[in-house]
Amino acid sequence: MANELKGKVAAVTGAASGIGLATVKAMIASGARVVLVDRDQASLKTICEELGDAAIPLVMDLLDPKDCATLLSQILEKAGQLDIFHANAGSYIGGDLLDADPDAIDRMVSLNVSVVMKNVQNILPHMIERGTGDIIVTSSVAGHFPVHWEPVYASSKWAMTNFVQTVRRQVLKHGIRVASVSPGPVNSALLADWPEENLRKAKESGSIIEPSDVSDAVMYILTRPRNVTIRDMVVLPSNFDM
């Protein structure tokens, strides 16, 4: 995929680890400049030093409404344009609904749903004005299947399935593509919050994929001809029973 994204600017939220970081590396390898959006200032500094000038750090707490509202203006200040937006930041709650902490529910739904909606709303006018753009949301297979051990998380991702499909219809006339990538279990920090027994079984059976497997899917979506939209891509470990 060398230079397929040359001249483009991308922004990735939750960029300091996991799927976000793998996608940043893939985009840079393909010629893009990438704004890495994350609240972890120390990690962003280290990562951007390693990746060079094509990696542009943007320290931001997306759960702070005032901070969140400046997303586009800060991206434009740092990079001048925005061609690709990857809404990747998210969190996880598993287990029985009765055991979930109400504050944790608020935080997760805000990050997984409200923040994505606000981010996309924030960046859309710029893409509409330019008549082109790509928006990708990191969803989950849980957004397509009722995973009974994670009702809060799965519900947030079902919301994203609907969001992607409806917003896509609204903006396709502006030359903007909207897509989601929906992985199964990924070897990332989110798995630390999985029910211990489920995590143990998944690791023992090899039912986990790597962040790079997901970033490969993102790059496939981005590099299709402009007349082709990959609206939903589900990426599963071959041994995953769902």
Do the domain assignments include residue 104? yes
Question: Has residue 67 got a pLDDT over 80?
Answer: yes
Do the domain assignments include residue 240? no
153 part of the active site:
yes
Which domain, by its residues, includes 17?
Answer: 9-233
Question: Number of folded domains in the chain?
Answer: 1
Give the pLDDT band (50/70/90) at residue 3. Answer: confident
Q: Give percent of the chain above pLDDT 70.
A: 96
Question: Has residue 15 got a pLDDT over 70?
Answer: yes
- pTM for the structure as a whole: 0.93
Do the domain assignments include residue 154? yes
**Residue of 153, 158, 163, 194 with catalytic role:** 153
* CATH code of the domain in which 79 resides: 3.40.50.720
Strand arrangement of the beta sheet that strand 9-13 belongs to:
55-59, 33-38, 9-13, 84-87, 133-138, 176-183, 232-235
- How many other C-beta atoms lie within 10 A of the C-beta of residue 212? 16
Do the domain assignments include residue 241? no
Q: Which range, of 25-29, 127-131, 183-187, 233-237, averages the lowest pLDDT? A: 183-187
Give the pLDDT band (50/70/90) at residue 211. Answer: very high
